[in-house]
């Protein structure tokens, strides 16, 4: 099957500046992407309702980060959000998940209920909530229909959480969407941990990840992570990632057994 693919708008935020939302959408639509994830610091959030109408793209989610002091801003975001019904939420109130995060979720979930918004917790290396395990713990604790998880292949890899099959099993009951990137462990990468690259690059085997998700019946969308370290021509990188992803899908449909690994060698 062909999954809907989204680009996270970070890829359009380069050292030279940020592409306007209209250009982002034109590029993605012309390349064949189905949607976009928009960062909460975008200056064009008010234009999200017209993204579907004008470019035929879904706004899959807003990406937001909770840090202490940002409570009012996040509540305002959740209260005013239009044109999108999902927020990918990274938690970084301290060096681990702590009471501030719980209180923030306590405040946001009633708004989500009232406004029909889904929160997908976004484990993020070097943040308070880093691992899929921490996100699963929070989902189990709240056990709320509006609270789930985005499995981010990059952050799972960068954190070296390992045990892919077990981690996916744990995440599956809460899984809302999946984000991926080409990546390799490197001190030159994001946070001194791992690179963020187009999907045809890196050491992380996204074909195997796709296979593991396919076997678990995941039919949702895939978001592609981009970051300024990816460098160069944004359009070219988007194209490479989409081509690589469709190639992986096609191979997986033909040969699902190719994605079944034997024991770990090292």
Partner 1 sequence: MNPMNNPIHALDSFFYTSLGVYSFQSQCEMVAEVGYDAITVAAWSGHPLTDLKLLPQVKEKHGLDVAALYLVLHEGRNDHLVRQIIESVEGVELIELAVQTSVNGVKAILQSIERLLPIVERRGLKLALYPHRNHVTETTSHVVEICRFFDHPRLGAVFNGYHWYASQEGDLQGRLDAMKPWLMQVTTSGSTLSQLGWGGVATMEPPDRGELDNFALLGALQRMGYEGRIGLLGWDYCGDVYLKLQRSLNAMRGIQQRLAEHPTWADIPLAR
The Cα 226–Cα 156 span in angstroms is: 16
Quote the least distance from Cβ 123 to partner 1, whole Å. Answer: 18
Q: Does 207 bind partner 1 (CB under 8 A)?
A: yes
Query: Nearer to partner 1 by C-beta: 109 or 181?
Result: 181
Quote the least distance from Cβ 17 to partner 1, whole Å. Answer: 28
Q: Does 180 bind partner 1 (CB under 8 A)?
A: no
Positions 110 through 169 that interact with partner 1 (CB under 8 A): 157, 164
The Cα 121–Cα 221 span in angstroms is: 16
Q: Does 218 bind partner 1 (CB under 8 A)?
A: no
Quote the least distance from Cβ 6 to partner 1, whole Å. Answer: 19
Considering Cα of 14, then 178, then 223, then 251, what sign does the dihedral take? positive
Give the number of residues in contact with partner 1, rule: CB under 8 A: 32
Measured CA angle at 130 (ends 210, 59), to 5 deg? 55
> What backbone torsions phi and psi does residue 117 show, to the nearest 5 degrees?
-105, 140
The residue with tokens 């796709």 is 210
Can you give the three-state secondary structure of 123-135, one letter per residue?
CCCCCCCCCHHHH
Is residue 123 within 8 A of residue 130, CB to CB? The reply is: yes
Query: Nearer to partner 1 by C-beta: 101 or 201?
Result: 201
Query: Nearer to partner 1 by C-beta: 155 or 176?
Result: 155
Considering Cα of 160, then 142, then 225, then 1, what sign does the dihedral take? positive
Query: Nearer to partner 1 by C-beta: 67 or 240?
Result: 240
Q: Does 105 bind partner 1 (CB under 8 A)?
A: no
Q: Does 194 bind partner 1 (CB under 8 A)?
A: no
Binding interface with partner 1 (CB under 8 A): 157, 164, 182, 184, 186-188, 199-209, 244, 247-248, 251, 255, 257-258, 260-266
């Amino acid at each position: 099957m062909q999954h809907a693919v989204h680009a996270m708008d970070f890829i359009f935020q380069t050292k030279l500046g940020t592409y306007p939302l209209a250009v982002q959408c034109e590029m993605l639509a012309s390349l064949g992407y189905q949607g976009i994830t928009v960062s909460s610091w975008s200056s064009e959030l008010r234009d999200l309702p017209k993204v579907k109408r004008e470019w035929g793209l879904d706004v899959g989610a807003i990406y937001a980060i909770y840090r202490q002091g940002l409570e009012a801003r996040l509540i305002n975001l959740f209260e005013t959000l239009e044109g999108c019904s999902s927020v990918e939420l990274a938690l970084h109130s301290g060096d681990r998940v702590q009471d501030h995060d719980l209180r923030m979720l306590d405040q946001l979930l009633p708004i989500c209920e009232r406004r029909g918004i889904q929160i997908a917790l976004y484990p993020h290396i070097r943040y308070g909530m880093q691992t899929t395990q921490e996100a699963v713990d929070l989902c189990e604790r709240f056990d709320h229909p509006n609270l789930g998880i985005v499995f981010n292949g990059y952050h799972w890899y960068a954190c070296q959480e390992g045990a892919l099959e077990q981690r996916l099993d744990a995440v599956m009951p809460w899984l809302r969407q999946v984000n991926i990137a080409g990546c390799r462990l490197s001190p030159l990468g994001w946070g001194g941990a791992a690179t963020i690259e187009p999907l045809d690059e890196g050491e992380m085997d996204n074909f195997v990840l796709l296979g593991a998700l396919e076997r678990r019946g995941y039919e949702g969308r895939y978001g592609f992570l981009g970051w300024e370290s990816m460098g160069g021509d944004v359009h070219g990188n988007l194209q490479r990632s989409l081509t690589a992803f469709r190639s992986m899908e096609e191979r997986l449909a033909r040969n699902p057994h190719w994605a079944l690994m034997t024991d770990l060698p090292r």
